[in-house]
Amino acid sequence: MHHPIRKHLALVPLALVLLVPAAHGGESDALPSAVSNAHAQLLSQFFAHSGDASPAVLEYRRKLAEYQAARAAFDEEAGAYWSQISEKRKTRNAKRRSGQQITLDDYVLEHPPVYTGPKRPVNPEPEETPERPTRKPIPVVADLLRAAQDLYQFTPQRPSSEVEFKRAYARYALASGLTREQAVRVYSFETGGTGTFDVQAGIEHGGKRAISTAMGYNQLLTTNSVELLAEQGHELIRALSDKVARTSGPARQALEHKLTVLKKMVAHAKSVPDTWSEHEKIGNTAQGWAMHAMVLDVDIGPMLQTHKLLTSVLFARAKGYTRPLTAAELEMMNLTGDGTGFDMVTMPQAMREQVPTSNFFQRSGYERNPVAIRHNTVAKLLAVTDARMDSNSNNAGARELAAVF
């Protein structure tokens, strides 16, 4: 059965802590352990260093004690909530494996606790700023092309125009089983309805700095490219081989070289265990960058873009879900992963209205996701996704993509 999470712990001011009797012979007046431990530690620090401190520093330390006690209380409450989220997820997975029906009792129906205590005070004394680790630069198109040339002596064949790439994508997507609505609306959501075949997250709409390796119509990461080469490589090789067989002259020689490179990339991607973490390791190397460069190729790129979505469609079918996925449902699987997205997709509408989005996230991911926090039920999250698709589908790139289907 569902057990509600306890209400937010009240803040216990430091002055009250000083007045709490040492013992009452029982636990009825005891503070929660997290609050008690935080107070004990901070009180010792307070008295150890207060002798020569200025009034401003003393006030800062008092406020710091209150803040850290409040944060400790909140973290204890939030920890209990997210532990319950994890346990419910395990229960759902087990029931799904054994063919049992999922009910409302298998979800946490409260929303996550929100910290409402004091902010961390500003220290009036100078503090040493810890050195931040140097960030590894995010590769951009030039880096991908350089890696492909250095490691595979290959340069992706870029389209002569944007519409050429869109036509190739539409042909392959339709032949593979994606619908026009799915492809166009996901493109509209992922790129704002204006993205080019080589658009990269951050370098768009006037942006000048890449914020991730996400690229193309469906915003593939380097890890996505490695994983698709590993898992769908046989299909990519088959499709390109068919095109080689239909081509002659110099164009055929170029395609044969591309096919040789593709086979090498697929072999490299398959050389590690088929897990996201192992593919991510490759994706963070020059070899992974070279593989990611295939997103730019007019032959391979449309296939990678298609399979990024098609794998979710096939996952749902394999689980016995025969109804066509709406574009918003497909996007949920695209964003959150097939297993998590499928959990949302198969939920009846009445449950979607009640189940918080927090059930489908880890704590750190949820707290960094303002969209999931603001649109905090499954129904609301799908609705805002649909609304964004509706709006962006009117933009020029989306209209052009729709026209070539």
DSSP string, 168-179: HHHHHHHHHT--
Candidates 395, 103, 168, 153; CA nearest to 261 is 153
User: 324 and 221 in one domain?
Assistant: yes
**Residue 201 within any structural domain of the chain:** yes
315 pLDDT above the threshold of 60: yes
Q: Are residues 208 and 266 in the same domain?
A: yes
Q: Which among 285, 287, 286 has a CA at the least distance from the CA of 268? A: 287
**Residue 225 sits in the same domain as residue 307:** yes
pLDDT, one tens digit per residue, over 374-400 is 999 999 999 999 999 999 999 999 999
Same domain (yes/no): 178, 227: yes
User: Is 4 inside a domain boundary?
Assistant: no
pLDDT of residue 37: 60
Residue 366: give the domain boundaries.
141-404
- Residues 169, 94 share a domain: no
**Is position 309 within any domain?**
yes
Same domain? 247 vs 392: yes
- 296 and 386 inside one domain: yes
CATH of the domain at 160: 1.10.530.10
pLDDT tens per residue across span 210-250: 999 999 999 999 999 999 999 999 999 999 999 999 999 99
The DSSP secondary-structure symbol of 217 reads: T
Distance CA 155, CA 353 (A): 49
The domain total for the chain is 2
The share of the chain scoring above pLDDT 90, in percent, equals 74
Q: Is the pLDDT of residue 354 over 60?
A: yes
Pick the last residue of a domain from 80, 106, 132. Answer: 106
Give 259-316 as a 3 state SS string.
Answer: HHHHHHHHHHHCCCCCCHHHHHHHHCCHHHHHHHHHHHCCCHHHHHHHHHHHHHHHHH
CA distance 339 to 360: 10
pLDDT in tens, 138-186: 999 999 999 999 999 999 999 999 999 999 999 999 999 999 999 999 9
In this model, does residue 10 exceed pLDDT 70? no
> Does the structure show a pLDDT above 70 at 266?
yes
Picking from 53, 85, 106, the residue at the C-terminal end of a domain is: 106
Is residue 301 situated within a structural domain?
A: yes
Output the pLDDT for position 50: 52
Angle formed by the axes of helices 180-191 and 327-336, to 10°?
Answer: 50
Q: How far is the C-alpha of 92 from the C-alpha of 346, rounded, in Å? A: 13
Same domain, 308 and 231: yes
Where a domain ends, among 86, 106, 126?
Answer: 106
Query: Quick one: pLDDT at residue 16?
Result: 33
Residue 121 domain-assigned? no
Does residue 114 form part of some domain?
Answer: no
Pick from 265, 283, 178: nearest CA to 221: 283
Same domain, yes or no, for 170 and 287?
yes
Kindly report the average pLDDT of the chain as a whole number.
Answer: 88
pLDDT of residue 35: 52
Q: In the predicted model, what is the mean pLDDT of residues 7-35?
A: 40
Same domain flag for 101 and 150: no
Identify the band that residue 21 occupies on the pLDDT scale cut at 50, 70 and 90. Answer: very low
The confidence band for 125, taking pLDDT boundaries of 50, 70 and 90, is confident
| Domain match, 178 and 318 both | yes
